[in-house]
A and B are shown apart, each in its own frame.
Chain A
Amino acid sequence: MSFNNPLDQLYRQVIMDHYKNPRNRGVLEGNSVDINMNNPTCGDRIHLTMKVEDGKIADVKFEGEGCSISMSSASMMTQAIKGKTVEEALKLAHIFSNMMQGKEYDGSVDLGDIEALQGVSKFPARIKCATLAWKAMEKGLHQHH
């Protein structure tokens, strides 16, 4: 494409794939965590539902409205935490937060698709888009405890 390279770092193929084909989309019946969060400055919103059993995230679904970054990040987040323990999920959220702020982060954890969001840290105006779903997840799990 004729656009500058940095743009291709932001809109990676895997991000657009999650945007186009979101994983775990919907509302979970019989959930134990149900949380709504929005980004009041831009209007993005997420509705996150999780089923937490024996300290594990047995299932998770999201629905919402927003840009490619916020929705793909939500999709990737649900994919990453499904089946993980609450502690592991919160640790991932911490790693993700550091990654967005351009800080050092624990490289021993396999981030999978999430790695593709690294480029967002170079676009300060878009960091809040990427972190919305993760903040919802953190808040939901803290409320659950």
Chain B
Amino acid sequence: MNVKEIRKLFPILDQEVNGKPLVYLDNAATSQKPLPVIEALDQYYRQYNSNVHRGVHTLGTKATDAYEGAREKVRRFINAKSTQEIIFTRGTTAALNIVAASYGRANLQEGDEIVITYMEHHSNLIPWQQAAKQTGATLKYIPLQADGTIDIKDVEATVTANTKIVAVAHVSNVLGTINPIKDIARIAHQHGAVVVVDAAQSAPHMKIDVQDLDCDFLAFSGHKMCGPTGIGVLYGKRDLLERMEPVEFGGEMIDFVELYDSTWKELPWKFEGGTPIIAGAIGLGAAIDFLEDVGLDHIAAHEHELAQYALERMSAIDGLTIYGPKQRGGLVTFNIDGVHPHDVATVLDAEGIAVRAGHHCAQPLMKWLNVTATARASFYLYNTKEEIDQLVVALQKTKEYFGHVF
């Protein structure tokens, strides 16, 4: 994998921020976009913008082919059995909300349990809180080990015959923990529960095979994997999706409409009410082509190397605390003693380095870590060890700067 060549495809990376070369380390929030994705969007809007599934005209057919072609790319990307199992949504949040609102409300009642973990992003937490409130079901948490991993014994102890849904992040957006989805799915299925996977932080970085994972639902966002914002994917096993009611009603998703009743289109369109996210899906398709050209295995290996290098260099900084396990996805969440993460992020920004500071939409996890906020550096295929070196120098400067003023 030639990172130097890859970087040339990301025009945004070639700029100065506050007089310093941009070092973009906020990829867990959103990734940058390569030329093939920007060009696919440009081409769609310049050459064949049209609504899908309805026009008899030529542009309408072109747009429909491209939109449905993107669905096939997504199917292949996660190895789903059928494109009927691929629903385009606004993003991971929207996808998880469909599962909670449709599957959750139809299949939960008082006495049932929803099982999640302490490391969930709010998007895989609040929809379940709401579903629990609305149905009388109970929300239960799988505890975490001291290093921020899940012990499979705790999954076995938490999931019971009353559990109907187990919802878990594939990779934690704070700790970087990679969760054992296959094992969790096996345990859930033994108890008759379905498994919902938040793949927002894994799909961009590693090869996903939904059949191998044997998950029932899986959600991810386009914008974290080189695609545009406003497009995401909900994968669901066909027999489950067949039995689910749509969440949004209106145009595009109907079969026959009469005065007092209507029927829905077949999968996947019954879940895609309104004019769909055409440009977004086409952009996501281009992003998938790009990532597969580079190779997901190469990307995963590169990020693993960066994460291990960052861990090694950053743990050598005195007074710096790193959260999460050694084996992790491509991110490092940390704090510097006595310096608030916002202040860390502002000082790094002055050095041209973009990191995230805050609670990372994971307030229960912040409580578990006993912090109010943290800083996070997250990597992608275009990042380099030199950039991590720059981060380390800037972190040392941050320490000096605040040590000096104190």
Contacts and interface: CB of A to CB of B under 8 A. Distances in A.
Nearest to B357: A42
A123 B342 CA distance: 12
A26 to B, nearest CB: 19
B350 interface: yes
Contacts of A144: none
Nearest to B373: A43
A24 interface: no
Nearest to A39: B358
Interface magnitude class on chain A: 20 to 34
A111 interface: no
Contacts of A66: 340, 342, 372
Contacts of B349: 125
Nearest to B359: A43
Interface in B156-208: none
Interface stretch (B61-69, B213-221, B324-332, B396-404): B396-404
B214 to A, nearest CB: 36
Contact of A1 (B346, B372, B401, B406): B401
B366 interface: yes
A68 B346 CA distance: 11
B346 A42 contact: no
Given A16-B406, A67-B343, A68-B340, A3 B359 contact: no
A7 B373 contact: no
B19 interface: yes
Given A4-B18, A42-B373, A43-B363, A20 B406 contact: yes
A10 B402 CA distance: 12
B251 to A, nearest CB: 34
A81 interface: no
A3 B347 contact: yes
Interface string A58-86: 00000001111110000000000000000
B63 to A, nearest CB: 37
B346 A123 contact: yes
A1 B366 CA distance: 33
A126 interface: yes
Interface string A38-65: 0001111100000000000000000001
B406 A68 contact: no
B405 interface: yes
Contacts of B400: 1
9 closest pairs, A vs B, by CB?
A67-B342, A67-B340, A43-B359, A16-B405, A42-B358, A43-B373, A65-B372, A7-B350, A43-B372
Interface of A: 1-4, 6-7, 10-11, 13, 16, 20, 41-45, 65-70, 123, 125-126, 129
Given A3-B351, A43-B359, A68-B342, 12 more contacts: A1-B397, A4-B19, A11-B343, A11-B401, A42-B373, A43-B372, A66-B342, A67-B340, A67-B343, A68-B343, A123-B346, A125-B346
12 contacts: A1-B400, A1-B401, A1-B404, A3-B397, A4-B19, A20-B406, A43-B363, A45-B372, A66-B372, A68-B340, A125-B346, A126-B346
